[in-house]
Structure 1
Amino acid sequence: MIRVHATCVSVGGAGVLLRGPSGSGKSDLALRLVDAGALLVADDQVDLAADPTRTLLTASAPERLAGLVEVRGLGILPVPAVPSALVRLAVDLVGRDAVPRLPEPATVTLAGVILPRVALWPFAASAPAALRLALAALAAGAPPVPAAFDGVAA
């Protein structure tokens, strides 16, 4: 098991790992996803455990953080949560100008498990919808998810 500085939400049962430095928008995007029906797995620190075959990655919260999210300006508050989720997508939160319009597919290896990876500007109004579309494409067996989303159709 490894612990990473990230936030994880379960969107329709699929874990989405939001990665980025402090202040990058992890908790903000997680809160908007939860408001739209997702469930929090962990905020700020996420425990990741690979299965023995290194094909599945499970995310969970450290016990003291379970069910809590940091809401800037309000503090640490409880939100609807689940104890764990299988991670299906890693999302690197980047600045708006760092999101290429037509990216190449990308992956990341975490705890020995290869996952599709996207880059996303978390403050776009379309960010939650873009993540749901990326997960739907993965579930439908689409090729690896493009490396970035800017929320704009080509």
Structure 2
Amino acid sequence: MNYEHAFQLVDLEVIRIDATQSGTTDEHAHWSVGYAPERVESMDRLARVVLGTLHAGGDNGWADITVGALYIHQNEDVTDDLLADAIGEADATESLYDYARSHLAGILATVGAHVQLPRKSPDPDVTKLIRSDSSDAQDTDNEESES
């Protein structure tokens, strides 16, 4: 089945950026995408939260960026069991990569890392996101501050 047009990408944003100067390493890039298991309503249509992380490194340093967006469902044939494959093949995922790549290139330059990011995304590792229990996270924070 062809899933290129299964989603419309909306509400792009940068979530996190990290960069470090370091010694010389082989040039590399890794692209991973995670999706929320549940749908949300956006613009009176069903959507999913999707996060993409692009990591790249090479001479003089590395950087990574996490970006997020809503994927509006355009194709109701995309069932939950087909979702990972559909997201991996979707044009929306390529656009999410382009967004991440355009931001990451400048960040790599600021740390002096000489990395030629691929114009086409590497094959993404697509996984379902797991919601953490926020009360557990708060308890951990409180324990650390009491120590």
Superposition TM-score, scaled by structure 1 size: 0.27
Q: Which has the higher helix share?
A: 2
Structure with greater Cα Rg:
2
RCO higher in 1 or 2 (8 Å CA, sep ≥ 6)?
A: 2
Superposition TM-score, scaled by structure 2 size: 0.28
